[in-house]
A and B are shown apart, each in its own frame.
Chain A
Amino acid sequence: MIVTEKLTKIYGTFKAIDDLNLTVKEGAIFGFLGHNGAGKTTTLSMLTTLLLPTSGKVSIAGLDIVKDNLKVRGLLGYLPESVMLYGDLTAAENLRFFGKLSEVEKVDVRIDEVLGLLGLIGWKDKKVKTFSKGMRQRIGIAQALLHKPKILFLDEPTSGLDPQGTKEMRDLLLKLNTEWGTTIFMNTHLLSEVTKVCTDIGIISHGRLLLADSISNIERRFPEAKSLEEIYFNIEGGQF
């Protein structure tokens, strides 16, 4: 579903992403792990066509993200780390606007469908500025799902959520993956979330990909490690 080849991003003299080679399979929930400033968001921004790579190639569902950027955008849904949406508009008005921009047919029917899935149908006509952080995240997910994307990109989706909100988000991602078959690529630094949700992980540090594999393979490769946390810290520390 996602293939990057020698993906590089340079800002001035700073190499934010260095020769990243990564493959994410269709139907996977891919957790992209790394400390703050490791290059997770820069990678995500390139995958979502927001930033142009300095060099290297990225294809999503066989489409080049630079040459076919508009087609790629039709395939992806995106939730940034903190999204407020338009506070003075209602949930439905926000979704209608983004739905129309994504050329969703029968947008109002689709809004009801997505809000129903997210348990927000009762909040449809309420202004978004009155919503809690967790609810705003869910409306954020709703805007990303309107056009039935094949792949969903999430940047720290549980950041700032309380334990209940975190659990709801986790359940939602699993539901989207199993029921709708959506491939999910999520940036996170929460290892606990990764083990509960993800099928595959990638670890990035200082712009370089240190490891990318399925969780089951990783556990087989490092049988002496007691937990994913231990594996992560040892890989980051260069001990594996």
Chain B
Amino acid sequence: MKQVFIIATKEFKAAFKDKVFLVITALFLLLSIISVYIGSSTRNAEMKAYQDIVEILESQGATNFPLSPEIFPLAILQNIIKYVSIIGAVLAVFLGFDAFSGERENGTLKLLLVRPLYRDQLVTGKLLGAGLVIGVLLAITLIFNTLLFSLVSGILPNLNELSRLMVFIIMAFIYMMIFYIATLFVSIKTGDRAFGFLTMMVVWILVSFVIPQLADSQRSFAYALNATNQTVTQIPSDTVISKGIEIFSPAVQFQNVGKDLLQGVSETATMNVFEILSRQALSLLYILVPGVILLFASYRAVQKEDVL
């Protein structure tokens, strides 16, 4: 176990010494902060508009007032779901693309494998190191955003909201780790780090953009006529085909779970965490299954002689 921690510590330090990684990390944090700020400001504007209307009605002597807009505090953090699913995935790819191929190119893989160390310990050490990096990053995101959210919106999250937020961060961790594991697998199998990086970029584009768009194209649409404005609104709804296509996109599955957790869907906005997780059990399964398969495949691949 000591060997695993030595490797994990080295991976952790190396990540935070890498300038490109630091730039992507800074971008990730910045975008999440901006999104919270915009979300909070929008919510404040909506509340102010409502209060202005109430004041006008009051001055006109009205006693019946429209209902206050239904605002769910965590919905302010909604944009983070997209940032994690897109930039978080890139970050994980960047963290892992040369985990093995880089060691091979540097000649350090052989130096590691002649140490009193099992090959699976090397994989575990790399996973633990990446897990620490992603964990620290998400913890910083959580703390920053919760503070900013409370400061700008003036709302202190209650226990249910905090637990939703925590579970969302855990889900984000799992999602990013799955991208890391996939990248690690590619890095073990390919001898060339540039090829490995490009392969994972293609995978990222597929699961983040191509598959979701393909699924969108297979949805059915209902049309709602607004007689006052004389406009027709398209209301997309899932079909078996669109749902089937989305199974292959962990990004879509993560977004589905994320929307429920961060009160983006009004029907689940008041549920507790366990109810949400059981409702999203299939999405969780679709996220976890490829990750577990790739994890086993990585441990198997590293035992093969051609890894050198």
Q: Which A residues lie at the B interface, using CB under 8 A? A: 45, 48-52, 70-71, 73-74, 76, 78, 80-89, 97-98, 100-103, 143
Contacts and interface: CB of A to CB of B under 8 A. Distances in A.
Contacts of B116: 70-71, 73-74, 101-103
A84 B107 contact: yes
B17 A49 contact: no
Nearest to B118: A70
Given A45-B308, A102-B116, A86 B106 contact: yes
A153 B98 CA distance: 27
Interface string B109-120: 011111111100
B108 A52 contact: no
B157 to A, nearest CB: 40
B111 A83 contact: yes
A23 B213 CA distance: 66
Contact of A78 (B6, B111, B117, B305): B111
Interface string B278-308: 0000000000000000000000000001001
Interface in B1-51: 2-3, 6-7, 10, 14, 17-18
Contact of B114 (A52, A76, A81, A100): A76
Contacts of A48: 110, 114
Contacts of B113: 49-50
17 contacts: A45-B308, A48-B114, A50-B110, A50-B308, A51-B305, A80-B110, A81-B107, A82-B107, A83-B106, A83-B108, A84-B108, A85-B111, A88-B18, A97-B6, A98-B115, A101-B115, A102-B116
A76 B10 CA distance: 23
Contacts of A88: 14, 17-18
Nearest to A149: B114
A101 B112 contact: yes
A16 to B, nearest CB: 12
A49 B308 CA distance: 12
Contacts of A89: 14
B6 A49 contact: no
Nearest to A83: B107
Given A48-B114, A50-B308, A70-B116, A86 B108 contact: yes
